[in-house]
A and B are shown apart, each in its own frame.
Chain A
Amino acid sequence: MISDQITGPGPTMGTVPINSSGAANYVIPAQAEAALEKLTAQFPEIFFEARRFRDELTVYVPRENIVAVAQFLRDGEGLNYNYLADLTGNDWPDRDPRFEVIYQLYSLDHHTRLRLKVRVPENDCTCPSVTNVWGTSNWHEREVFDMFGITFDGHPDLRRILMPVEWEGHPLRQDYAIGWEEPEFTVRKVHRDYAKG
């Protein structure tokens, strides 16, 4: 189970509760709920934890099953999540599986969204690649590898994509502080004794 209680530093001042009385009525699309039911029926041995917020449904998938689940969601009858809109990662240093890989699925048939999440522990920082299911995940997975240090098993070409190959560290991890870097091409002032030439 996910731990919702973050033990780290919380908000600094007392929070004003958000008045949501005027908020639009968000409803989870029926197709997304149906997809969750079909998933449960297809994989009875897996427990799919689901979270609902606004009109978005998040389904947690065990790491070892992600490729099978992705394949089923893409090809299954009436599911057709054929469009992987986005794939990214997240880092919660105080939770036990520390990392998350987040898949934003979309169907071009019934135009609804579904979010999958895979939890990745820090000591075994790897996740199966879904490049065989959605070709678009190639660069996204490279970016997650670059930014979070999660390796993707079965990825055809796992290299850094935005940072230089020799860069150390993974910048989007929460413990990677925003600091400064030595800019290339900076001409430094050299104290030169002009009298000596």
Chain B
Amino acid sequence: MSTSTQDPKKIYDNIRSDMAPVEAMMKRNAMAAASTLTDRVTLERLVEDDHAPGDSERMIINMGPQHPSTHGVLRLVLELDGETVTKAEPVIGYLHTGMEKTMQSKSYQQAIVVTDRFDYTNVMGNNLAYCLAVEKLLGAEIPERAQALRVIVTELGRLSAHMVWLGTHALDLGAMTVYFYCFREREMIMDMFDVICGARLTASYDAPPEFFSLLKPFLEIIDERIDEYDYVLNNEIFKNRTQGIGALSKEELIDMAVSGPVARAAGINYDVRKANPYSGYEKYDFDVPLGTNGDVYDRYLVRVEEMRQSARIVRQALKTLPEGPIKCLDRNISLPPREELATSMEAVIYHFKLVTEGFHPPKNQEVYVTCEAPKGEIGFYIASDGGNKPYRCHLRGPSFVNLQSLPKMLEGRMLSDAVAIIGSIDIVLGEVDR
């Protein structure tokens, strides 16, 4: 890399590999102390901000990072007045592994697998968003069959993600049955992902072979299974726990740039698939469900309806699935077919160059591409310096942005509602912390 104008010793202090063992141990202790300091700073700030001295009525408690209903390592510092939440502060970063930095150190193709680890319930959607960004940077044209397959697979991913959400959300609220129902159907989708790429959870795939024989029986049963979830949750207890809770006004939601089902439950008509169609979504007939109240119950209704719409899109895409190539035909960016390598020297050269070096997008250009992930608008900002690695790769994670509005939703609510509200935002900490 280029020369640094800063004091190199200071910058590499955390990561130097030539440290003496004693020095390294001291560093380790300092880092352990740092995490305690984070706690103390957060707590002191909370205490100083709003506490009258001697106000013994209020209590500060930690919810998480190891709490079953925070869906990962989210930590909430809650200030309670009795059982009412008066102030909430999410503390994030426990899962931060520098994935953007990792992507910037890999070639464009290698970075695809890193995107799986962002939102691990929507792996195919992450792959798609990243690939769309790189393809836009390159100006690649994607064959129709590939586009339709992408739609099928991402919609299956959406179904799977919503099933995880619905199962765990209902479990948080004490309804155990739905969890088993959802994971039963999710298993079928996992099996399909297994067939098309070999991995069940962190799936990045090339070409689907006998996947349709699994997809067709799935599509036959999915609608009645979704009705089944709806039937089980259509009860007074669930409604009492969710109705009228966690709602924010439209203006507040737009100000906080909340997207996805949380925004649509409040009536904000924003779905990237409709507003800025990609991968041929404009060809399919589907509805965007909108709520009115924006509370936890509306978010549930919106997501369940979205599952039905996803199944509808998959059915249409399957019916109109065109024949043809499934890869971009431009040899500069996509590998030649395997069988050509035995006969064509040119194919071997292209293959060699792509595998060893990768491709070079236009120099000093940048793109920002968005897709509709199950959790909201997922965006990739990629800047190129003409090299074979993304110079800057940034993920706009819907979970990260939506989580920011959590304190506003929690304030003034009961502690037990906090669980319902956190569940209804549907966060994945892999995407929040990156």
Contacts and interface: CB of A to CB of B under 8 A. Distances in A.
A182 interface: yes
Contact of A108 (B136, B254, B387, B434): B254
B387 A135 contact: no
Interface string B340-375: 000000000000010001011111111110100000
Given A108-B268, A174-B2, A18 B368 contact: no
Given A175-B11, A177-B12, A85 B370 contact: yes
Interface in A5-24: 6, 8, 10-13, 15-20, 22-24
Given A23-B139, A136-B257, A179 B377 contact: no
Which residue of B3, B98, B270 has the most chain A CB atoms within 10 A of its CB atom? B98
B292 interface: no
B379 A86 contact: yes
A115 B170 CA distance: 40
B20 interface: no
Given A22-B330, A163-B93, A166-B33, A86 B27 contact: no
A128 interface: no
B385 interface: yes
A102 interface: yes
Majority secondary structure, A binding face: loop
Interface residues of B, number: 83
Contacts of A177: 1, 12, 15
A4 B364 contact: yes
B67 interface: no
A102 B98 contact: no
A174 B387 CA distance: 14
Contact of A90 (B6, B140, B330, B383): B383
A104 interface: yes
Interface residues on A, range: 35 or more
A179 B15 contact: yes
A66 interface: no
Contact of B400 (A19, A53, A139): A139
A195 to B, nearest CB: 24
A129 interface: no
A94 B2 contact: yes
Nearest to B433: A162
Nearest to A169: B11
A72 interface: no
B256 A164 contact: no
Given A10-B387, A168-B10, A178 B360 contact: no
B110 interface: no
A26 B33 CA distance: 52
A184 to B, nearest CB: 5
Contacts of B400: 139
A176 interface: yes
B413 interface: no
Contact of A167 (B34, B362, B391): B34
A181 interface: yes
A179 B330 CA distance: 36
A82 interface: yes
Interface string B1-44: 11111101011111111000000100110111111011001000
A23 B31 contact: no
Nearest to B97: A162
Interface stretch (B100-108, B148-156, B282-290, B418-426): B100-108
Interface in B81-140: 92-93, 96, 98, 100-102, 105, 136, 138-140
B329 interface: yes
Nearest to A16: B332
A19 B256 contact: no
Contacts of B17: 179-180
A71 interface: no
A31 interface: no
A194 B275 CA distance: 70
16 contacts: A12-B388, A16-B353, A16-B359, A22-B140, A53-B366, A56-B367, A85-B370, A93-B3, A136-B404, A164-B37, A166-B31, A169-B14, A175-B8, A178-B105, A180-B17, A184-B31
Interface of B: 1-6, 8, 10-17, 24, 27-28, 30-35, 37-38, 41, 92-93, 96, 98, 100-102, 105, 136, 138-141, 252, 254-257, 268, 270, 275-276, 329-330, 332-333, 353, 357, 359-368, 370, 377, 379, 381, 383, 385-388, 391-392, 394, 396, 400-401, 404, 433-434
Query: Ordered nearest first, which 6 A-B pairs have the shortest CB separation?
Result: A23-B139, A179-B15, A166-B34, A136-B257, A20-B139, A175-B4
